[in-house]
Structure 1
Amino acid sequence: MQRLLNTLYITRQETYLHKERETIVIKQGDEKLGQFPALSLGGIICFGRVSVSPFLMGYCADQGIGLSFYTDYGRFLARVQGPESGNVLLRREQYRWADSQEQAASVARLSVAAKVANSRSVLQREIRNHGETPALREAVDKLATSLRRVRNAYSVEAVRGMEGDAANTYFGVFNDLLKGSGFAFGGRVRRPPTDPVNALLSFIYSLITQECTSALQGVGLDPYVGFLHKDRPGRPSLALDMLEEFRAAWADRFVLTLVNRQQVQLKDFETDASGAVRLKEEPRKKVLSAYQERKQTELQHPYLEEQVPIGLLPHCQALLLARHLRGDMAFYTPYMVK
């Protein structure tokens, strides 16, 4: 099993990263802010006005260290990628599957089924911990129906429609899960998020998408050719397919923890001129620190039956998907919480 390495988050503005022997140095002007051994890092994520030397970019590409750039409020911009790894025959098989309606639907159906099942588990957990309400019970029952329908869907378009219906059901009661003072959620809003909860969800979804992209590239799959999400230039469709399995079980539960434990508060957010809501710089550091801690938490993988850190879940699923596409496994087993 792959070892979970650290991710370095650079949030201070006007910083400069460069390579010094086998270490990565962070400077601001003439002041050295930190120096880290490269061997301990699996990724570097830069927010805002952060510069990286060309030599460090090349080193990260050669060593498989993910290097990603975000705006200062968390919107993904770009990533540095080295040579393709893995077997070209695997990627050719992936493209054939993506072009086949039947084969694409077989994988898309499983990914969405996992998303619906995990969403339902989040609501059932709320009922166990805080009691049942008519709205929660209705949503749980509707998601059970959606799960049965998804399992019998035989086209990608049908799967997409069912995924949208299930998401509307789930997010329709998401506000009932929020216990933090003053936080409210009226529905999923993206590009841009216009309230603190949507801002947190979008931010964490974006981080996990990059984890999925790196994991897929690591096993030799093309993260830009998916089965559920349509092809679009610059869109990591397969990484977004995999994200569906982790939205409720990983991202949403993490956001609920931040809000309900008051690790984030309304004062931690600001609204820019466009109406977009975003985390302020210091609270964002706290969220990233909590996210890094969550990645270290170990759990029992339901299929592999091994203890793995949450941060390695994308790698586990990428391995299973690659084995399925190669024909080593009859079925792809998506990540579903028990």
Structure 2
Amino acid sequence: MITTLPAPVVEQETIRVSALHALAYCPRLFYLEEVEELYTQDEAVFAGRRLHVELEKDEDTEELFLESVELGLRGKVDALRERDGQIIPYEHKRGRCRRGDNYQPQAWDSDHLQILAYAYLIELALNTTVLEGRIRYHRDNVLVKIPVNDVGRQKVRDAVEQARNLRQSPQRPPVTNNEKLCVRCSLAPVCLPEEARLAQDPERAPLRLFPKDEERQIIHVMEPGTKVGKSGEEIKITPLDEPAKKIPARMVDQLVLHSFAQISTQALHLCAYQQIGVHFVSGGGRYMGSLDTRQGSIQRRIQQYKALTDPELCLRLARQLVQCRGQGQRRFLMRGERPPELQQTIDQMKALLKQVESVDSIASLLGFEGNLAALYFQGLPLSLSPNIDPELQFSGRNRRPPQDCFNCLLGFGYALLLKDVNHSILTVGLEPALGFYHQPRSQAYPLGLDLMEIFRVPLVDMIVVASINRGQWQVREDFEKRGQQVWLTDVGRKKFIELYERRKGESWKHPVTNYSLTYRRLIELEVRLLEKEWNGEGGLFAQLVLR
């Protein structure tokens, strides 16, 4: 006798009522928050929290957490009251209500769905009937009453089904057609809706929804033996034989530990919790690695893995990258006086760049890039003033260990740039070890090497040439010679970091979006534009070329 066992019952995870609120507002917002687990906390979010803290002091209200596996929902009702024997759920909103015909107050669609969901949950939990829910809009002090009926209950069930289907989908929903929603959305800097619309319509004049700058600081801990710890919600930095300095964690974006600075486990925990990037740079100026605290970004990495195993996509992106870097290098050489030998180099680079689009393999493209780089570094010495210290002159590119002052500056600058690019990659939630052009080698992550090509000229080469021409370097004070090797001294490293961070704070008008951002923000924007290349919204990546 064969006994057939019943199929196991798979219990689905319940969905937060607040997630249905996001779904009604914009399906793409729901997907970014619930599937990709992307969240932001802007001033509106904090203001809403303050409102609810004040409301909790009201003794006439009762907060209630509810969950129904049958319905597939869970949530916490803002307030529950009893009026004339009827239970009424209340929601409190910081903003204004919607105005309908004859300027009559109405609930916004997302708020309407949310209060219906809470009413339905109460009915199932308490085995009762809820006749209405109420929403208080505090900005204009309006109370909107929402009737609860079978139509509303079906609306909730349909929304739960849509939410479940979206959770199973591997693709983000498209950008909403209602542009007004994007202006008020806290996830606009992650979603980049205006940039997605621009990719579809190049004639469009997009709004800048991407934040201008990151107000939090980048802290470089330079002195060997410095201890970094935690004191409450502050980062505590204690140099050798000096008093400790404390910085509120909320004011710190990155903590960069140079040489043999030490950091405690407690400080690492605080940095992870506060989403502070922790990066390590050796005493010789090599980028060593970063603390990876990514959470909930697996969907983005799965999409990245799928995309960057496609040879055609990788070749297309690599062509764009070589064009971007090559055009930037060529235009940098065109900025100063052009003696005949430099003009010849510029013309040769132009001829090579015309052939990039016809290259049919990554291997061949590497050869073209090598030829472009050779021409660029051949012409770069002509950008230097003839009056500078001979020891600061440039006669050719050499890597680690650097053999002259110029290459020493380039190497340290590229290490700082790689650190910043990897910081943005981790912030966005991508995998730095999987690139589309560079191959894995040593400690340098391929995707970081790919993306830093866009910023080598504006963020490193230009400040090295400019600072040398301005006489900002003292060979004896800023550099240390060890046999055939040349390294920056502590004074020299501090000077370069100051120049580099100042440069990152300067703004550049994006040649395609036509809005200005600091270089610090542009790095993150470029990572997000790269991700759009495999999400069906590509076309803006690697367009940052010097004018």
Give the TM-score, by structure 2 length: 0.58
* Structure 1 counterpart of 2:463, from 231, 234, 254: 254
CA RMSD for the aligned pairs?
1.7
5+ residue gaps, structure 1? none
User: Is this contact kept in 1: 2:319–2:357, CA < 8 A?
Assistant: yes
Whichever residue aligns with residue 300 of structure 1, its letter is K
Deviation for aligned residue 1:85: 4.9
Q: 1:16 to 1:150 in 2, by over 3 A?
A: same
Secondary structure of the corresponding residue to residue 32 of structure 1: coil
User: Is this contact kept in 1: 2:324–2:542, CA < 8 A?
Assistant: no
* Structure 1 counterpart of 2:348, from 133, 142, 146: 142
Deviation for aligned residue 1:319: 1.1
Q: What does the per-residue CA deviation read over 1:229-257, in whole Å, with 9 as the maximum and x for residues that have no partner?
A: 01236431011101111112221001111
Matched, 1:307 2:504: no
Deviation for aligned residue 1:220: 1.9
Matched, 1:271 2:477: no
5+ residue gaps, structure 2? 1-209
Secondary structure of the corresponding residue to residue 325 of structure 1: coil
Secondary structure of the corresponding residue to residue 455 of structure 2: helix
Whichever residue aligns with residue 169 of structure 1, its letter is L
Q: 1:269 to 1:29 in 2, by over 3 A?
A: closer
As a proportion of its length, which structure holds more helix? 1
User: Is this contact kept in 2: 1:136–1:173, CA < 8 A?
Assistant: yes
Matched, 1:12 2:220: no
Matched, 1:181 2:389: yes
| Equivalent residue, structure 1, for 2:248 | 37
User: Is this contact kept in 1: 2:233–2:270, CA < 8 A?
Assistant: no
Q: Distance in 1 between matches of 2:455 and 2:272?
A: 26
Secondary structure of the corresponding residue to residue 44 of structure 1: strand
| Equivalent residue, structure 2, for 1:170 | 376
* Structure 2 counterpart of 1:77, from 288, 294, 310: 288
Q: 1:176 to 1:30 in 2, by over 3 A?
A: closer
Q: Distance in 1 between matches of 2:263 and 2:348?
A: 49
Whichever residue aligns with residue 405 of structure 2, its letter is P
Q: What does the per-residue CA deviation read over 1:4-63, in whole Å, with 9 as the maximum and x for residues that have no partner?
A: 232111111211011112211111356324221221221111111211011111222232
Whichever residue aligns with residue 137 of structure 1, its letter is Q
User: Is this contact kept in 2: 1:303–1:333, CA < 8 A?
Assistant: no
Deviation for aligned residue 1:330: 4.7
Whichever residue aligns with residue 314 of structure 1, its letter is I
Secondary structure of the corresponding residue to residue 245 of structure 1: coil
Matched, 1:25 2:233: no
User: Is this contact kept in 1: 2:332–2:546, CA < 8 A?
Assistant: no
Q: 1:216 to 1:109 in 2, by over 3 A?
A: same
Deviation for aligned residue 1:332: 3.0
Q: Distance in 2 between matches of 1:331 and 1:105?
A: 16
Deviation for aligned residue 1:165: 0.5
| Equivalent residue, structure 2, for 1:52 | 263
Q: 168-177 or 296-305: which moved more?
A: 296-305
**Higher RCO (C-alpha under 8 Å, 6+ residues apart):** 1
* Structure 1 counterpart of 2:324, from 95, 114, 124: 114
Deviation for aligned residue 1:148: 0.9
Secondary structure of the corresponding residue to residue 471 of structure 2: coil
* Structure 2 counterpart of 1:323, from 524, 529, 532: 532
Whichever residue aligns with residue 181 of structure 1, its letter is D
Whichever residue aligns with residue 335 of structure 2, its letter is R
Q: Distance in 1 between matches of 2:523 and 2:355?
A: 26
Q: 1:45 to 1:173 in 2, by over 3 A?
A: same
Q: 28-37 or 131-140: which moved more?
A: 28-37
| Equivalent residue, structure 1, for 2:404 | 195
Matched, 1:293 2:502: yes
Whichever residue aligns with residue 367 of structure 2, its letter is G
Whichever residue aligns with residue 151 of structure 1, its letter is E
| Equivalent residue, structure 2, for 1:100 | 310
Q: 220-229 or 70-79: which moved more?
A: 70-79
Q: 55-64 or 201-210: which moved more?
A: 55-64
Deviation for aligned residue 1:185: 1.3
Q: What does the per-residue CA deviation read over 1:171-226, in whole Å, with 9 as the maximum and x for residues that have no partner?
A: 01211112232222121111211111001001111111111111112222111111
Q: 1:313 to 1:228 in 2, by over 3 A?
A: same
User: Is this contact kept in 2: 1:94–1:325, CA < 8 A?
Assistant: yes
Whichever residue aligns with residue 51 of structure 1, its letter is Q
Deviation for aligned residue 1:331: 5.8
Whichever residue aligns with residue 34 of structure 1, its letter is K
| Equivalent residue, structure 1, for 2:299 | 89
Aligned residues: 332
Secondary structure of the corresponding residue to residue 335 of structure 2: helix
Whichever residue aligns with residue 223 of structure 2, its letter is R
Q: Distance in 1 between matches of 2:445 and 2:355?
A: 27
Shift >4 Å, 4+ stretches: none
Q: 27-36 or 179-188: which moved more?
A: 27-36
Whichever residue aligns with residue 312 of structure 1, its letter is R
Secondary structure of the corresponding residue to residue 125 of structure 1: coil
Structure 1 vs Structure 2: percent identity of aligned residues? 28
Q: Distance in 2 between matches of 1:160 and 1:320?
A: 23
Give the TM-score, by structure 1 length: 0.93
